[in-house]
Amino acid sequence: MPLLDGTLLEWEDIVDEHNWQGLLLGNGLSINVWPAFDYESLFEHATGGGLTREDLGLFEGSPNFERVLGDINTAIRVSQAVGVDPEPFFVRYRRIQGALGHAIRQVHLNRTRVSEDALAAIRAELCNYEVIFTTSYDLIIYWAMGHAGVWPPFVDLFKYGGDLQFDPDRADVYAGQVPVYFLHGALHLVVGGTGVTWKLRQTAIHTLLDQFGQPIEGDPQARPLLVTEGSARDKLQAIERNDYLSHALSQLRNLEVPLVVFGSSLSRQDQHLIDALNDHRERPIAISMRSGSRRTLAARQADIYGRLDATTLLFYDASTPSTGVGRPAGPLRHGYPNVRKSS
């Protein structure tokens, strides 16, 4: 049984205890780079993006853009099938998509604001693992994967077809490759009107951030692939509706190697992640926590322990400095080089 008294281990004390091969990242890493990522809800930011009262009514019960856009997409297809003018649905679709783009651009930073040192440090840390999962849908991890124009060993499975589509039948990972799975979608991922998911390319005119939320040429029903629901049940339903997201979650569910969790509180809103991890209780898991009062930390530890069925469960200090090369705590600790100051 792990210590549940609010104490935190030092990373150096556990770094060599297990062969940590898996890494699950949460929004805490992104907040280290850009504090504005500590937003509670994209929906709160989007309400200032031109949504009408009728638009807002579609979000009752679940402030999830992917679900609402998917519902409107269904309405468009039905109206076309029965001979009803779909234009009003297209107008609403574009307005809601534009509001989502407005929200993202409010909280996201441009690529030029991220220091090269920060991206290089994150990339170097990611190279220490054999498989990586992230629940963040910002572009920090994606930028780090391809830092300095070098992508190997990282792969994201969007490598087949002219539009970089995801094909569940061709999602094998080969020796020497490190797969990165975006469990809740990401800003550079799009799902088309037919349900196919693909990765956006950066064009000569737009950055990936500029392209986000804009209509996709040739597919007016395409929408960003983001899971923004508030409850674990709704998140799981959204994941199961999409081939890529369901594949990514299945990889986490099937993971048997020792796993480090950094920047994720594994709250009850992410119970679907804990449920996936519980499929292999013999796998050691190390979870980072930010320092705080012993009582608060003890309560958080007890909550996770009560829901996470792991034979070996360790809680370590997220701010532990690294004393050697590699392994989390170096660039994944709080206070590593972050963004460029505004000019």
Instruction: Give phi and psi for 317, each to the nearest 5.
Output: -75, 120
Q: Which residues contact 111 (CB under 8 A, 6 or more apart)?
A: 139, 143, 207, 209
Question: What local confidence, expressed as pLDDT, does residue 131 receive?
Answer: 96
Give the C-alpha distances (Å, rounded to integers) separating 184 from 15, 89, 200, 224, 318: 28, 26, 16, 11, 23
Question: What local confidence, expressed as pLDDT, does residue 242 receive?
Answer: 93
Judge contact between 260 and 286, C-beta under 8 A: yes
Question: What local confidence, expressed as pLDDT, does residue 38 receive?
Answer: 66
Spell out the per-residue pLDDT of the chain, length 343, in tens. 667 888 899 888 888 888 899 999 988 888 777 776 765 566 777 777 678 888 888 887 666 676 787 788 788 889 989 999 988 888 888 788 778 777 777 778 888 888 888 888 889 889 999 999 999 888 899 999 999 889 999 999 987 556 688 988 889 999 999 999 999 998 889 888 788 898 887 665 567 777 666 767 778 778 778 886 656 777 888 899 899 999 999 999 999 999 999 988 898 888 999 999 999 999 999 999 988 899 999 999 999 999 999 999 999 988 764 422 233 444 354 333 344 433 3
DSSP state of 308: -
Give the CA count within 13 Å in the CB-facing half-sphere of 28. 22
Helix, strand, coil shares of the chain as percentages rounded to 5? 40, 15, 45
Where does residue 246 rank: exposed (0-12), middle (13-18), buried (19+ CB within 10 A)? middle
Question: What local confidence, expressed as pLDDT, does residue 173 receive?
Answer: 93
Q: Which token pair is 2? A: 């792990």
Please, what are the domains in the chain? 1-34+114-184+228-343 (3.40.50)
Judge contact between 170 and 216, C-beta under 8 A: no
Euclidean distance between CA atoms 343 and 340, whole angstroms = 9
